[in-house]
Structure 1
């Protein structure tokens, strides 16, 4: 890595550190209760605001990737930072608006927040891969690491930023305003510091997006890679959202909340260990091995149905399912399509976003045991796709070189 890009990499990662807070705040019970009280709605109604984030991602991803490839990582990241500032500061303004349109303002801001996430993904994922070009898998897993650290610290930050308004309402506006202002600062910094693709443009004209797409072969193997973005997301999202319900209803565990701690611990440790392993093992191998581990774990949990197995399962799924697998898939796709990294990143993230919406919607209408079975089937499909990609990986590399 060129040392002149080190400050730039830190700035890019800090965007995701704050994103770790931004994408989690609406899932916190205390914040849901505070917003619901201000807007005069039921607590569960806040879930619709969270869903708007996914809607924003799906709206922006189809054009965020091409714009990143055409205009550069700097512009894409700047749009993402600015939009995220609007989302976070908008939540504070929506809270202040109360029953006078506050809920509607928050919904619109959440859509903008989802759009922001898309531009950050298609700008920063390729950018860090270009900066840490000798270890792109490590570079993209670093994104997940910064998100995980922020999410781990969030409960402590909530306690520091809580306040009471003159009307007696609980408010977290300090957190919303603070994170929004930080994003504005990051926007300014990302426009100042150098990025590899900007330097490349200065040295010579880069092939246009349309031309590069014409010369790109979207083979069956590459389509399989993009679909894995769907299956691997389903693995950890279904576990994260439904495994505790399975523990309650099928295992008889009254309070399985401790599973979240083991899940997070598995994710954090995996990011470090996997980053070290990718130095000696090809990134593509993890696309097969980790889903196999997840599949075996869920089958054992479904059959065994005991507290120790649930705890072990939470740790293992946190490791093999959420510990950077999606980031590795994105990294491998970027290596196979070096000329349109932003577009390929968008395709993987579109698959991931579609999974979040469709699979979780389906799970909401099923029993916990049925959800576990669905997760096993979905993960098994990911294993088959991972095996196919590994068997055809050499051919895929040859095609990318021809491009």
Structure 2
């Protein structure tokens, strides 16, 4: 194995390790809610809800800017900036007693999230230009790993009455070790293009139009995210209200959803590496989600709730957003950071809008939440098909 490949695997290892911490940082405030609320002298719902909202604000505000600057100054700088933001949060939060300062520290998580994404995701496609789809989709597996590990850590700390700050300082040490490991690694040129199986990066027939297909792909950042967010957040409530499923069984649906998502990540990564180009996945996977939701809309039953949990976990949450990003980076190889910034800004916006719209619809009729999700999935399918039609006109499919 040549030095360049060894270097690329080393960079990827550090990036994936960071995504474990990224997923932990996004939920750690609410996981240690009892300890942090006492420290800040506030309540869990309103007070910590205010603090946690800073994450979304930080993410939305700087994702777009981070993307543009990543294209200009390179990926490594922004990965380090993201890690630095997380370190600031983890070191400061255990000693913070002011809720407004805690809110600012939560904003630092959002900023770190933005910088890490805008540096890491382009870097992965540049390290593995011939398997960028697989490399990008695997991010989901490490995000799920962090979400799985943290509750175990929290349970252990509460069981033995250990100060939660030690966990935060442990996460800090983890980041510092990873930063030292990444330091000697030389990143590929930031204008590296995604290559096809034949190793060609000269695959354009004509120039793509950022104002058209670029815009459609950015919109898909919203619709593909909304498709899985609605089910992820509301399937248990739908199961309880619509089919009178017991609360415990309804909550367990999300475990089936998460398990299907993790399985999907590895299957999808294998398929896009060996058989199917990402451009096909960005309309096939939303189409399958649409079918599952259509069946669910017309058959509200306990069995269909389970099928929906598994189906949506597999088709909607297994990496569609990441594959859509890969397609955008293929079409606009000199704007990879901008692609991440734009698409993930819209993705973050869905996390802000969906929790405000879906509850209102569900209050009128719980099936309206399913219908809204179906509309998002159908929109993703149509947008993906339009992009595909344009993609085959501007890119030689035999060279990718």
TM-score normalised over the length of structure 1: 0.87
Of 48, 62, 68, the match for 2:64: 62
- The answer on 1:290 being equivalent to 2:285 is yes
Of 268, 276, 280, the match for 1:274: 268
Does the residue aligned with 1:84 lie in a helix, a strand or coil? helix
- The answer on 1:193 being equivalent to 2:193 is no
* Cα distance between partner residues in 1 of 2:391 and 2:149: 39
Q: CA deviation at 1:150?
A: 1.7
Which residue in 2 is equivalent to 1:26? 29
Equivalences for 1:3-402 in 2 at 5 Å?
3-28=6-31, 31-45=32-46, 46-94=48-96, 97=97, 101=98, 103-162=99-158, 171-197=163-189, 217-255=209-247, 256-278=250-272, 279-367=274-362, 368-397=366-395
Does the residue aligned with 2:129 lie in a helix, a strand or coil? coil
* Cα distance between partner residues in 1 of 2:34 and 2:238: 25
* Cα distance between partner residues in 1 of 2:191 and 2:40: 48
Q: CA deviation at 1:199?
A: 11
Determine if contact 1:163/1:171 at 8 Å carries over to the other structure.
no
Q: CA deviation at 1:36?
A: 2.2
Does the residue aligned with 1:24 lie in a helix, a strand or coil? helix
1:273–1:115: structure 2 CA closer, same or farther, 3 Å change rule? same
Which residue in 1 is equivalent to 2:203? none
Does the residue aligned with 1:92 lie in a helix, a strand or coil? helix
Q: CA deviation at 1:231?
A: 0.1
Does the residue aligned with 1:364 lie in a helix, a strand or coil? helix
* Cα distance between partner residues in 2 of 1:300 and 1:79: 45
Of 348-357 and 118-127, deviating more is 348-357
Determine if contact 1:226/1:348 at 8 Å carries over to the other structure.
yes
Q: CA deviation at 1:295?
A: 1.3
Q: CA deviation at 1:78?
A: 0.4
Determine if contact 2:224/2:377 at 8 Å carries over to the other structure.
yes
Determine if contact 2:191/2:334 at 8 Å carries over to the other structure.
no
Q: CA deviation at 1:10?
A: 0.6
Determine if contact 1:263/1:319 at 8 Å carries over to the other structure.
yes
Q: Which runs of 5+ in 1 are unaligned?
A: 201-214
Q: Which runs of 5+ in 2 are unaligned?
A: 193-206
1:269–1:112: structure 2 CA closer, same or farther, 3 Å change rule? same
Does the residue aligned with 1:253 lie in a helix, a strand or coil? coil
Q: CA deviation at 1:198?
A: 7.3
Alignment root-mean-square deviation, CA: 2.2
TM-score normalised over the length of structure 2: 0.88
Of 147-156 and 78-87, deviating more is 147-156
Of 258-267 and 302-311, deviating more is 302-311
* Cα distance between partner residues in 2 of 1:16 and 1:343: 20
Determine if contact 2:67/2:338 at 8 Å carries over to the other structure.
yes
Aligned length: 374
Determine if contact 2:221/2:343 at 8 Å carries over to the other structure.
yes
Determine if contact 1:81/1:186 at 8 Å carries over to the other structure.
no
1:164–1:378: structure 2 CA closer, same or farther, 3 Å change rule? same
Deviation above 3 Å: which 4+ runs of structure 1? 161-165
Does the residue aligned with 1:340 lie in a helix, a strand or coil? helix
Does the residue aligned with 2:360 lie in a helix, a strand or coil? coil
* Cα distance between partner residues in 2 of 1:370 and 1:173: 43
* Cα distance between partner residues in 2 of 1:61 and 1:198: 18
* Cα distance between partner residues in 2 of 1:266 and 1:24: 21
